Structure 1
Amino acid sequence: MTPTRRALATTLALTALLATAPTTAQAAGTPQHPWYFDTLRVDDIWEHTKGEGITVAVIDSGVDLTLPELQGQVLDGTDLTASPQGAHVDTDGHGTDMAALIAGTGEGQGIQGLAPEAQVLPIRVTNGGMTTELPARWAAAIEYAVESGAQVINISQASPHDDPTRQAMAAALATAARNDVLIFAGSGNDGEGLNNPSAPNSLEGVVSVGAVDRTGEHIPYSTYGPQVTLAAPGNDVPGHCDGLSGPACVREEGGTSSATALASASAALIWSQHPDWTKNQVLRVMLNTAERSDDQRRDDYTGYGIVRPDRVIVDGEGDPGDPDSPPIFRDWEAGLVPPATPEPTPETTPDDSAEPAPGPEAEAAATSDDGSPLPWILGGTAAVVLVGLTGWLLLRRRA
């Protein structure tokens, strides 16, 4: 362990008394009270906010709203898969677990989420496994989430990153940025393999989230690199170990999927407490209040640090700064071309000395020559990005 990582581990251990305190059933972690609730002082956070007024879009395998902890928490959503069955169908279970980590109520001994009064907008893009159409579906899903009023988008998925992916998602990511929407995506679970960058987490406009354990240490499977922006707990996190029909459990080994859901929930809590803030301000305070080592420098393993929404909500820390200034992706956002808008029709000033009104031929010509460009179409990228996309692999760690 490096001195930097040792310092961070010591800080978190002292904060939560997790490494040395005698364990009890609750301190050891349960689906209703996972270990990070103590670290993040969740009970204190909930005295201020539980995420009310915030919608988090979960782009994943669907969300099963019949689970007790998700009843009343899930909106209608949409299914973008090749054979749609509905956004509330989840044969894989992954999307449902992510939704529960964000907004679960703990009812019926189910998963207790970090922001239990936030609403989940389910957008089904896969039922697990491989698909050649994932980037196009991500793009359509982001556009749908923006149009549906989501403030936060959670993508606990990853695939190889190449130029077709960037092209497929460029317009959708620009749409989200223009509409003040935050996007979080898992950094991937390839840290022990080739550690190749993946999408969408390494694309401009997406906050990449890595995974740490209960000591604050980077988990080896968590993909690392310059794209990592923040980190959150990835192991010993609630889920369903035997499928959605079984009871909730605590998974000893999870993934950056879970870390991403907890980062999204943290943003929802902060935004709920400060509804007048922009995405730039929410992200800025998340960055400058994140738990990090004493040298306060960013690294490729946890980015700017581990999310600490309690510091913002309970302690009032963090300077939101300029609402219009992005804390990251500045050059990218500055270069975004605004969508085209119709040019105004020139107005004429009444003049008593003007010539007589034009005849029928001239009037017909005037009214048929609009001069305004076609409106900007949000879904315009979906049809052109499917050509040539092969071999997409969904990289998700299953406990």
Structure 2
Amino acid sequence: MALPVGLAPSAAAADVQSQQWYLSAMKADEMWKTSTGKGVKIAVVDTGVNPSTPSLQGQVLVDEVPKSLSYGATKDISGHGTTMAEIIAGTGHGGGLKGLAPDAKVVPYRVAVRGMSLSEQNKAPDPVAVIKAIANSDVKIINMSFADDISYDDEQAAIKYAASKGKLLFAGSGNDAQTTNGKLYPASYPDVVGVSAVDKTGTVGKFSNHGFSVDLAAPGVDIPAWCNASFHSYCSHVYGTSDATAVASASAALIWSAHPDWTANQVLRSLIDTAGREWPKETPSNYLGYGIIRPRKVLENAHYNPGPANVDPLAVEDGVAKPKTSPSASAPAKSPSGGETSAADAGSKSSGNTLTWVVVGAAAALVVIGGAAFAVIRSRRRA
């Protein structure tokens, strides 16, 4: 991650939280009048989560991690998993990050990632066992900020099982767009919602992987994050699809909390239906999928119809995938406030990778919403 500026949390609360530009762009204060994520549990499968940061005290359900899978769950090796947890459910206390779903709860899991010693990797719980355990719990959402360029049958089977148990799974599309832009897993598995990252202008990050794996987009660029595992300060200008994934998970938590009787299919359908896009929903973008998430559009509509409970909105007929096209960026774009604005010039940016957001406050203002985050690249030992 790019970390040029460190901010001591206790001394710079306003500075850290003021950098969470997406909260105001998404009108979080208005959404919190309707929902704060209360009653929803989210599993954060990452580098571990430190439950002792001021923003996470009381937010991390350590006791709900099976003992056989608890190794390292609360000992974050890099600050990454803790940052994801705070983006999702941080209270903002003590100068910490304010979560988009501040009353949701986090269940932490650590899996093997690059940067760990071989000994640590060997001790880390197997992702397959982790996903199966989460599937059999009352966690509703699984946030996976890791990526691998290899698909494993047992991992895919575990994810399919979790989906069959009613879980909603999110994963970052990856940060290799400028190099390989290859398929990464778990984002590319059929039962996982792949998330790309956009910046303040609604433009997809140059690093953010694009292609069939992308289902939705969310803010991820220039978001503060813990600098390292010492947890002494936050750093500015962090980017990657991990952050975008955390924002997407928190968005789902807000909706599910407001509508506890909905299924994962209905929560996901509501995010897809209301996503900001400038193209027909039937032709998802290679860069933004079905568009940039706008949970407010669901929460503010008391009569929103989420559709059938048992139909996966990402499923395709007869096993044939819908092509994700790159629609022109010159068409009018639907804004998060429901109006229209002009998309960026198609000649200067990749087709289908931009979307301008209008947010109306005390005065009409053009606000750009986007994001990026640093994805964890997991190394995986196999027998």
TM category (shorter chain) comes to: 0.7 to 0.9
- Shift, 1:161, TM fit: 2.7
Q: 1:116 aligned to 2:102?
A: yes
For the residue of structure 2 that corresponds to 1:208, the secondary structure is: strand
Match of 1:148 in 2: 137
> 1 CA distance for matches of 2:81 and 2:298?
28
For the Cα contact (< 8 Å) 2:216–2:289, is it kept in 1?
Answer: yes
- Distance in 1 separating the partners of 2:142 and 2:57: 20
Name which one, 1 or 2, has greater alpha-carbon Rg: 1
Matched to 1:204, the amino acid is P
Partner Cα separation in structure 1 for residue 85 and residue 95 of structure 2? 16
Give the whole-Å Cα distance in 1 for the aligned partners of 2:273 and 2:123: 33
Instruction: Give the superposition deviation at 1:128.
Output: 4.3
From 207, 232, 235, give the equivalent of 2:218: 232
Which amino acid letter does the alignment assign opposite residue 99 of structure 1? A
Question: Which residue is 2:41 aligned to?
Answer: 55
Aligned partner of 2:157 in structure 1 is: 171
Deviation of residue 32 (structure 1)? 5.6
Q: Which residue of 1 aligns with 2:362?
A: none
Alpha carbons 2:40, 2:104 under 8 Å: kept: yes
2:277 counterpart residue number: 292
2:249 to 261, 264, 276: 264
Alignment partners' CA distance in 2, 1:36 and 1:79: 36
User: What are the superposed Cα offsets for residues 91-116 of structure 1, whole Å, 9 maximum, x if unpaired?
Assistant: 22111110010000000001111001
CA distance in 2 between counterparts of 1:113 and 1:256 reads 17
Listed one character per residue, the Cα deviations across residues 105-133 of structure 1 (whole Å, up to 9, x for unaligned) are: 00000111100100000011135437888
Q: State the one-letter code of the partner of 2:234.
A: A
Alignment of 1:330-349 (within 5 A): 330=316
Residue matched to 1:252: 237
1:323 aligns with 2:309: yes
Q: Give 1:355-374 correspondences, 5 Å limit.
A: none
The Cα shift of 1:303 comes to 0.3
- How far the C-alpha of 1:138 sits from its partner, in A, is 2.0
- Structure 1 residue 137 displacement after superposition: 2.1
Q: CA deviation at 1:310?
A: 0.7
Cα displacement string for residues 206-236 of structure 1 (whole angstroms, at most 9, x for unaligned residues):
1000000011001110010011000101111
Is the Cα–Cα contact under 8 Å of residues 91 and 98 in structure 2 kept in the other structure? yes
- The 1-side partners of 2:295 and 2:226 are apart by 25
- What are the ranges of 5 or more consecutive residues in structure 1 without an aligned counterpart? 1-25, 334-391
Q: Give the TM-score taking structure 2 as reference length.
A: 0.74
Contact map agreement 2:71 2:124 (CA 8 A) in 1: no
Instruction: Kindly state the Cα deviation for residue 79 of structure 1 after the two structures are TM-superposed.
Output: 7.2
Q: How does 1:14-93 map to 2 (within 5 A)?
A: 30-31=16-17, 34-76=20-62, 77-78=65-66, 85-93=71-79
Separation in 2 of the partners of 1:30 and 1:331? 46
**TM-aligned CA distance change 1:331 to 1:78, over 3 Å:** farther
Determine which of 136, 146, 152 is the counterpart of 1:157. Answer: 146
CA contact (8 A) 2:88 2:249 kept: yes
Deviation of 1:253 (Å): 3.6
Q: CA 1:32/1:65 → structure 2, altered by over 3 Å: closer, same or farther?
A: farther
Does the CA-based 8 Å contact 2:147-2:174 persist in structure 1?
Answer: yes
Secondary structure, counterpart of 2:16 in structure 1: coil
Indicate the SS of the match to 1:228.
coil
Q: Is the contact between residue 19 and residue 224 of structure 2 (CA under 8 Å) also seen in structure 1?
A: no
Q: Distance in 2 between matches of 1:332 and 1:32?
A: 48
Which amino acid is 1:191 matched to?
A
- CA separation in 1, counterparts of 2:56 and 2:177? 32
Residue 126 (structure 2) pairs with residue 137 (structure 1): yes
Contact 1:271/1:282 (8 A) holds in 2: yes
How far 1:332 moved relative to its partner? 9.1
Q: Which amino acid aligns with 1:161?
A: I
Contact map agreement 1:79 1:125 (CA 8 A) in 2: no
Q: Would the alpha carbon gap of residues 220 and 214 (structure 1) be closer, same or farther in structure 2, given more than 3 Å must change?
A: same
**Residue 354 of structure 2: aligned partner:** none
Does residue 197 in structure 1 map to residue 186 in structure 2? Answer: no
CA distance in 2 between counterparts of 1:318 and 1:326 reads 18
Give the Cα separation in 2 of the matches to 1:306 and 1:260: 12
Aligned residue type for 1:146: A
Q: 1:337 aligns to what? A: none
**1:61–1:217: structure 2 CA closer, same or farther, 3 Å change rule?**
same
Instruction: Tell me the residue number matched to 1:304.
Output: 290
- Say which is worse superposed, 324-333 or 208-217, in terms of deviation: 324-333
Q: Is the contact between residue 62 and residue 96 of structure 1 (CA under 8 Å) also seen in structure 2?
A: yes
2 CA distance for matches of 1:206 and 1:180? Answer: 12
Is the 8 Å Cα contact of residues 262 and 309 (structure 2) preserved in structure 1? yes
SS at match of 2:17: coil
TM-superposed deviation, 1:30: 3.5
* Structure 2: runs of 5 or more not aligned: 1-11, 320-375
Provide the C-alpha distance between the structure 2 equivalents of 1:134 and 1:206, rounded to a whole number of angstroms.
26
Distance in 2 of aligned mates of 1:97 and 1:332: 40
Query: Alignment length, in residue pairs?
Result: 306
- Give the alignment's Cα RMSD to 1 decimal: 2.8
Corresponding residue SS for 1:269: helix
